A and B are shown apart, each in its own frame.
Chain A
Amino acid sequence: MSVELTIGPIAYHWPTARKRDFYARIADEAPVATVYLGEVICSKRSPFFDADLPGVIERLQRGGKRVVLSTLAEVVLPRERHATLQLCSQDDFEVEINNVSGLAARGNRPHRIGPFLNATNEATISWMAGQGASHVCLPHELPAPSLAVAAGAARELGITTELQVFGRAPLAVSARCYHARAHGRHKDNCQFVCEDDTDGMPLVTVAGEAFLRVNGIQTQSESYVCLAAELADIVSMGVSALRLMPQDVDMVGVAQVFPALLDGGLDVDAATGRLEGLCSGIRFSNGFFHKVPGRHYVPVHAGDRVLQ
């Protein structure tokens, strides 16, 4: 069966020019089929990129990429409700919904289920498919046996599934901005301090252990999830889209590793080695998949299969 790579929405408040350059390179050089665009974390950031969005969309489409627009994960304020309603009411682009208010706005017109909607099981996926969902991004914390059941159930329903295989795990969101808090501010007068941390603000335990990353209202893993060694298992489960989350590394280089791994051009050890080279100083983790602490890295070697 066919498998495609996707680029998830940028979680960080990268400067506009940088985002533009990032997507230009993705459009021209990255072997990915689908790119998710849009601000998922903080509605205050959205205006910075609105003017550039049409150009970026056009650039990506000229590069042969499918563009999907992602909605906010947390929707409380009137402007957030309005933005979600707008995105879910349009029919020019596919939409990935990350908040239930988007489902309400979308009705039973086709849509994608984002990773923040907790499609953790076959009963929920079946319900969502019945309401028009065509594609489900499975939650990052599901262990392998549950991923297999969920992906299998989706296939039987005639819809496709996706899983994040690279990048920091989106561990939590809050109404409070922890970036602002670290600078003695609150969300309304944040002065966009999150822009300075292009790969998240590190939180270190008082014993000196690198622990978590703060990205505005979001808390992320310190380690990058890397499911290179698990890729064959994930594909055999029937997951048909593999999501790479943009980090502050050479993402084109990262994206190039995965097709080589899928078609046998690189074995697991070589692919992992290449990724480690591209992400120097970063620890990898795959624990959620193996039902151990998410931050752990369980060594998996060529020939090991998680599912029998």
Chain B
Amino acid sequence: MIRPDLICPAGTPAALRTAVDAGADAVYCGFRNATNARNFPGLNFTREELGISIAYAHERGAKVLLTLNTYPPAGKVDLWQEAADTAVALGIDALIVADMGVAHYVAARHPDVRLHLSVQAAASNPESIRYYCDHFGVKRVVLPRILTVAEIKPIAEAIPCEIETFIFGNHGLMVEGRCSLTNYVTGQSTNLDGVCSPASDVDYRKEPGGAVASCLSGSVIDRFGADEMAGYPTICKGRYTAPHRPDGYYAFEEPVSLNLARMLPDLIHAGVHAFKIEGRQRSKSYVRSVVSAFRTAIDEVMAGRPPNIADLVSLTEGQKQTQGAFESKKWR
């Protein structure tokens, strides 16, 4: 049986150290620019920070992976190539890429560096995954969060690389790397700029009667009663009306978070090599509790013991959880 790696998020050097100390096998992070899909103010690493962080992780037996997973707009390719060169010079353990031009550059310039295929490439079938393996030497694919466990197993058997799946955190609804909802509404692109529902465009408006409208660039994405906690205005988590739904409904998905704690053994049996926790935008304390809990759970499963599900489930206390697409095709 494969012993899966636990892959953890780090938005800051402090979060990286926390994740390593809590038992991460590898930590993923990005530079402070458009080259990664969490290009948020106050987040991510400078060159110096990445160098120090890689040393910290390596001294403790953990790996560091660079998210280089946005799509360069024409004319700005240099920024992505420089980011790859810099990370390689600093001793990065793998580059997580989505764009074919970036993948080709790394494969040609740094043939000895491990390439992982980002979820942003949305490779959801064996033929697509093999394309990246054959042409760019990709060693691991991060699967889109749209496949059932039953569908993951035959994929694992049909491809020449490792599989990484998300097990916890924000639950993306759209095919990654192909979503321009934020660009349509705010003028900043998820695919090209690494920006999704930017905080600079968010405001919460008090309405008569105490309701609060959660807005993105002036558009009301959801509305909450005085006694409810107002959610963040992410377009694909909003409430809208449609001809058959005059009262307003979550047109895409309820505001839920992914938690596959109960499915860890199934995923291991399906041939998954690495479990990924989402959340580079999260706090140090969040990273500590989630990473520790999943570290313990994976170790229990590997020792043949049932994991303590209650601990994992309580991590999202107060928020609704889903097993998303992984459990059944009925999610679709």
Contact = CB atoms under 8 A, between A and B. Distances in A.
Nearest to B218: A209
Interface residues of A, number: 73
Contacts, number: 224
A contacts with B: majority SS: mixed
B270 to A, nearest CB: 16
Interface stretch (B48-56, B120-128, B297-305, B308-316): B120-128
Range, interface on chain B: 35 or more
B220 A209 contact: yes
A139 to B, nearest CB: 8
Contacts of B147: 76
Interface stretch (B4-12, B99-107, B258-266): B99-107
Contacts of B220: 205-207, 209
A141 B180 contact: yes
B74 A120 contact: yes
Interface string A108-151: 00000000101011111111100000000001111101111110
Interface string A175-199: 1111001110011100000000000
A81 B129 CA distance: 13
A85 B125 CA distance: 12
Given A120-B72, A149-B74, A293 B185 contact: yes
B128 A104 contact: yes
A173 interface: yes
A186 B332 contact: yes
A112 B253 CA distance: 34
Interface string B166-203: 00000001110111110111110101100000000000
A204 B240 CA distance: 5
A6 interface: no
B286 interface: no
Contacts of A287: 184, 187
A244 interface: no
Interface string A92-117: 00000001110111000000000010
Contacts of B74: 120-122, 125, 142, 146-150, 153
A300 B131 CA distance: 43
B243 interface: yes
Contact of B189 (A74, A76, A81, A141): A141
Interface of B: 71-77, 98-102, 104-105, 121, 123-128, 130-132, 134, 144, 146-147, 151, 173-175, 177-181, 183-187, 189, 191-192, 213, 217, 219-223, 236, 238-245, 248-249, 251-253, 325, 329-332
Given A169-B184, A209-B220, 18 more contacts: A104-B127, A104-B131, A120-B191, A121-B74, A121-B101, A141-B183, A141-B191, A146-B76, A147-B74, A150-B74, A172-B179, A175-B124, A201-B242, A203-B240, A205-B220, A288-B183, A294-B183, A296-B187
